[in-house]
Chains A and B, each alone.
Chain A
């Protein structure tokens, strides 16, 4: 299945989807050293975003999430890409800074997320402002 999305941060990436049923705040919600979700009120607490294609409705909460995601990307404990239902400027700037400082890319794409389940293989391919979301199961 291929969907079209809008690019908020560019790059190509592929990985197994981790679908979050609720929005996640990286700050206070994710352990930087491991990428594990530590927000006790989050349904997917205990799962790790590291190396996954993170799929969620939108970001949530603290504006410190930019630093936490950027540091996760620097350490390699962040997601390989992020697919959102709605744009999130706080996550977008984290991806832009990680690229500017370290040359590391974590594409952020907004597209329809319905029907994607955890474990699906997702590939994001970005060309300018247009993204292709390629899903295989």
Chain B
């Protein structure tokens, strides 16, 4: 059945709301037709992943919308850019490289988007609510919004997220609709000791495994321990969206659309049931490190996705206890809103002597921030460990936050 457009959709496509809205609606309807969507639906928010400069095409697209008088029609937040506008001195890009990256971030603001520049908009004032229809880009944000909050978005990519923001519409398709949110494949934690602790590493490993094995299917996890806080589910989702294409997962008893196993599957029978064993968890984690224990490290990278206030609080107490003094930089990516609140509270005072370098608006694995790329970088992020070797050419050691800070204190990789 063909895509049915309302008179308002057609009017917008014909230019009644201006040239930019018409262009956005043309792309959106072509995209929706290609998906096989039958209609568009209203959205109440958008999150745009187009601020990261990937080349001339990024700027050509957004500046065409600005020139056409485009404005976001719904609350629209921005994902990270290629620059830290709060700490410009940290960015190791030439002026020629910085100019288009800055223009791209500014062009999005000119469209009426909120200058949030964070990949964790769900931990800001702009957190969506259960059941809300939204159009989000950024794979970790998508999986968190769908899974942990129960808001509804597809895995929107660059360009189309902005087309949704400028039209206030999205295809009535995929994860926007009840029938596509039910679980399809079951992952069951099996063989773990009763004393199993809800460590960050466990959640990341489970994320990596479900990402690798789910394909396009909605995974349901049974037997996962209650997390210490939502940051562990954030790490799980980020890992699942790095190793695979997961846009929504259910964790039985933990996430809002999975109060029971039956609820998670919406009455259907799982197409496949897969066991997650302690050996698989160990193997998934081992694959995140390209170096063994004991090697010297040149930096620590934290905050992928962007650190929440709760993650900062854990880090700050670890830093004060370990007091690393070897001059190893500890980069921490976070949203500017979170950072400004922290600085205002005085919580960061004096931490620079331990090597702490807060990074806002961007992320250390996508742009030139790190002072040294020749050594080993240690991270507590499954996502950073997955992408950084390819993006930056660095060697990576993965470890828990506690291990990262202990390693910074002695200058080599230790894992507890």
A residues near B (Cβ < 8 Å) are: 7-9, 23, 27-29, 32, 38-41, 57-68, 70-71, 74-75, 86-87, 89-90, 92-94, 96-98, 100-101
B30 on the interface (CB 8 Å rule)? Answer: yes
CB of B245 within 8 A of CB of A61, answer yes
Main secondary structure of the interface of A (DSSP, over half): mixed
- A contact residues around B391 at 8 Å (CB): 28
CB of A67 within 8 A of CB of B54, answer yes
- A contact residues around B60 at 8 Å (CB): 101
- A contact residues around B61 at 8 Å (CB): 70, 97, 101
B375 on the interface (CB 8 Å rule)? Answer: no
Q: How far, in whole Å, are A7 and B33 apart by their CA atoms in the complex?
A: 10
- A contact residues around B389 at 8 Å (CB): 40
B387 on the interface (CB 8 Å rule)? Answer: yes
Q: Give 1 or 0 for each of B239-250: 1 = CB within 8 Å of chain A CB.
A: 001111100000
- B contact residues around A74 at 8 Å (CB): 55-57
CB of A75 within 8 A of CB of B55, answer yes
Given A38-B390, A64-B54, A94 and B157 contact (CB-CB distance below 8 Å): yes
User: What's the A-B contact tally at a CB cutoff of 8 Å?
Assistant: 124
CB of B57 within 8 A of CB of A58, answer no
B residues near A (Cβ < 8 Å) are: 23, 26-27, 30-31, 34-35, 49-50, 52, 54-58, 60-61, 64, 137-139, 142, 154-161, 215-216, 241-245, 287, 386-387, 389-391
B118: shortest Cβ distance to chain A, in Å?
A: 15
- A29, A65, A70 — most chain B CB neighbours (10 Å): A70
- B contact residues around A40 at 8 Å (CB): 389-390
CB of B27 within 8 A of CB of A32, answer no
Main secondary structure of the interface of B (DSSP, over half): helix
CB of A63 within 8 A of CB of B157, answer yes
CB of B390 within 8 A of CB of A64, answer no
Given A67-B54, A86-B216, A89-B154, A39 and B242 contact (CB-CB distance below 8 Å): no
- A8, A32, A66, A94 — most chain B CB neighbours (10 Å): A66
CB of A101 within 8 A of CB of B64, answer yes
Residue of A nearest to B34 (CB): A8
- B contact residues around A87 at 8 Å (CB): 34-35
CB of A29 within 8 A of CB of B390, answer yes
Q: How far, in whole Å, are A120 and B238 apart by their CA atoms in the complex?
A: 36
CB of B155 within 8 A of CB of A90, answer yes
A7: shortest Cβ distance to chain B, in Å?
A: 8
- B contact residues around A29 at 8 Å (CB): 390
CB of B155 within 8 A of CB of A64, answer no
Given A71-B55, A89-B157, A100 and B245 contact (CB-CB distance below 8 Å): no
B217: shortest Cβ distance to chain A, in Å?
A: 11
CB of B386 within 8 A of CB of A41, answer yes
Residue of A nearest to B287 (CB): A41
Q: How far, in whole Å, are A40 and B49 apart by their CA atoms in the complex?
A: 24
Residue of B nearest to A99 (CB): B30
CB of B34 within 8 A of CB of A9, answer yes
- B contact residues around A58 at 8 Å (CB): 215-216, 245
CB of B35 within 8 A of CB of A63, answer no
CB of A96 within 8 A of CB of B54, answer no
Residue of A nearest to B247 (CB): A63
